[in-house]
Amino acid sequence: MGNSEVERDEPLTPAGRLFLRPEMNQIIHCIIGCKNPIDAAAVISEITNSVMIQHPRFSSLMVRNSRGREHWRKTQIDVDRHVIVVEDPVAGAGAADEEAVNDYVADLAVSSPLSPDKPLWEVHLLRAHNCIVFRIHHALGDGISLMSMLLECCRRADEPDLRPTISSVGTSSNSSSNRIIQRRKLWKVVVGMLMGLVFIVEFVLRSLWVKDRKTAVSGGAGVELWPRKLATAKFWLDDMKMVKEAVADATINDVLFGVISCGLSRYLDLRSPKALRDGVQITGVAMVNLRKQPGLQELSDMMKGNSGIRWGNKFGMLLLPVYYHQGGADPLQYVKRAKQMIDLKKQSLEAHFSYNIGYLAMSCFGPKVASWLNYRIVCNTTFTISNVIGPKEEIAIVGNPAITMHMLSYAGRADMQILVAKDIVPDPQVLAKCFEDALHQMKEAATQE
């Protein structure tokens, strides 16, 4: 290896190294359903001339040196190797497009790793279903980074010369005076320090032996390698906003976790062979963006080396407990409990502690120990969740309007993709329906407030 090659190589970040571990090998899938038939040649041409090809992560191989350390090495891109065109239907005759595509992506999630002999991304064109599937390794960046990249490559369907816009849906409904804000800041510092200590203890205990009680949605050893099924729960953001307005100072995220708590309770009522004790805790792991500016940013800003919002993996995790409650409870109580819990989590600086603990473990002990810690936390909890804000307007890809975008909010809708081990949750469509019914029930309760 010549000196010029060594100079071109760039070390992976600690988070990037973590996501390449076999236990943590993560690929992000984004599904886009198009209105019209897909022109494969036009898509390939668009990708060839896009900013994505010029991006240093999307145009680099992941290589290891003689000591096993991972580096990015610039390479020439052969777009034809990255675009997989599937002409025939991916399911049997009569299968609905959404179900067929969901099954296709669920199979990809466990059976088709990205080849290391090319940059770690692919685009699958499912022409029989008018659908595009983006597959991007998590080592290239987190959801915020990748969504910023995607929107840079798209245009608004109603204004082809304009890029899509983003608006935050997580803000609370009420404002406070400056004096109250100052008091809250002081209180947050005190509570943050105390709750930070609590989190460190909880993090260690979860890594070692504390685990959720066994329920009908609990996994087992090696569950990350089991065959998967994928289903979609569909919500309208206006419905979520109506519920948010009915709970003082609530946010869309509060409503989302209220829906998860209520929906899981509904599903466990259906699936549990014997009644669970009311109030049983089911713990989730949520990913939180830690950039200085919330939401999505301009791609040019993210590529600046000295930017506080720069490209990469910049997120922490929260341990979020939800609780099983038998039917008959006021559905808005789920939102109120979620808000109370999330407010404490925000004050605790828990996400920042988790990020720094992971960074310290990676730096001092290497990816093997860091991945073991993360893997143990995932094993001892019940579910993981992440959410990304998407475009307000309908978008077009190569002039083809997108009618659906899964795994994020889009044009007034919010689709929740539910990926499960099919031996544990054989009917994820039923679970999705439980989440949808939970929001409908909350909306009805909100109209009566």
Tell me the pLDDT tens digit for each residue of 320-335: 888 888 766 688 999 9
State how far the Cα of 164 lies from the Cα of 215, in Å rounded to an integer.
Answer: 42
Catalytic residues: 138
Q: What are the DSSP calls for 231-276, one per residue?
A: EEEEEEHHHHHHHHHTSTT--HHHHHHHHHHHHHHHHHHHH-SSPP
AA letter at 214: K
- pLDDT for position 170: 47
- pLDDT for position 91: 79
- pLDDT for position 5: 46
AA letter at 325: H
Tell me the whole-structure pTM to 2 decimals.
0.83
SS3 content of the chain, % helix, strand, coil (to 5): 45, 20, 35
Helix (H) or strand (E) holding 286: strand 281-289
41: helix, coil or strand?
Answer: helix
Task: Profile the chain (449 residues) by mean pLDDT over runs of 10 residues.
Answer: 57 82 84 92 92 87 85 92 94 76 90 90 94 92 81 81 65 51 65 72 81 85 83 92 93 92 92 80 86 59 54 81 79 92 80 83 83 84 83 83 73 87 92 96 89
AA letter at 339: K
